[in-house]
Amino acid sequence: MTAFTLWPEDVVWRRVSPRLFWLKALVRLLLVLVLAGIGAGLWWYTERWEAVLGPAVLSALILLRLAFLPRNLRSWGYAERADDLLVRHGLLYRRLSIVPYGRMQFVDVTAGPLERLFGLATVQLHTAAAATDARIPGLLPPEAARLRDRLTALGEARAEGL
């Protein structure tokens, strides 16, 4: 069974904070509220029940995705190997990024207003390649700081430039 999973199993995967669920859920609920508002507006304006169909379907889809959200968030993971960082993500579309520490150009730690509300931060690793996709959301600030410090230290030790 192991042979057919995309992600390597012989590394220690770290998970993102479960608080990320509440953040994502809040965002989705806000979206549903906005859609409900639009639907109500349309109904009031056109006085036809068909007008509500669009927003209703969209809301239903969003709520359906909410049901898969916990599994989706559990799929986020990162592993610090000796020489590279692995980041995995995805349920339907699965992805794994491997970035050797020596290729790192800089590290971003960002926290948007909603993330700050939940006490979360996002760490993103940048290399000279624009396509590099190594972003880890939903980290607690101490863990984000630890990861950043470790990545920069390792990046300096193994710096190779381009």
Partner 1 sequence: MTVEPTLTPPVTPTPVVPRRRLHPLTPLLRGLRLAVIVVAAVSWNGFQDLGMQRWLLAVAAVGVLLLIISLVSYLATGYEVVGRELRITEGLLSRRNRAIPLERVQSIELVQPLLARPFGLAELRLEVVGGNSTEAPLAFLTLAEAKALRTTLLALSKPTPEADSGPADAPVPSLVETPPPTEHPLLTVPTGRLVASQLFRPQWWLLPVAVFIPLFDYQRGGDVGFVALASTVTAILGALLMPVRAMSGDWRFTLATAPDGLRIRRGLFETRSQTVPAGRIQAVMVESPLLWRIFGWVRATLHIAGVRVEQGQQARAGLLPVGTLADAELVLATAVPGFSLAQTTVRRPPTRAWIFAPLGRLVMGYQLAPTTFVTRDGLLRWRVVAVPYERIQSVRLRQGPLQRMLRLATVHVDVAGGGLPSVAAHQPVEEARWLALELADRARAFR
Instruction: Give the integer Cα–Cα distance in Å for 154 and 25.
Output: 35
CA triple 105-109-112, angle to 5 deg: 140
SS3 category, 124: strand
> What's the distance, CA 65 to chain centroid?
15
CA distance 80 to 136: 12
Binding mask 27-66 for partner 1 (x = CB under 8 A): ----------------------------------------
Stretch that binds partner 1, among 32-40, 54-62, 90-98, 139-147 (CB under 8 A): 90-98
The DSSP letter of residue 43 is: H
How far is it, in rounded angstroms, from Cα 5 to Cα 45?
51
Nearer to partner 1, 84 or 115 (CB): 84
The interface mask with partner 1, positions 94-133, x = CB under 8 A, is: xxxxxxx-xx-----------------------xxxxxxx
Please identify, using beta-carbon distances, which residue of 102 and 141 lies nearer to partner 1: 102
Instruction: For partner 1, give the closer residue by CB, 41 or 90.
Output: 90
The residues of the shown chain that bind partner 1, judged by CB under 8 A, are: 3-8, 83-84, 90, 92-100, 102-103, 127-134, 158, 160, 162
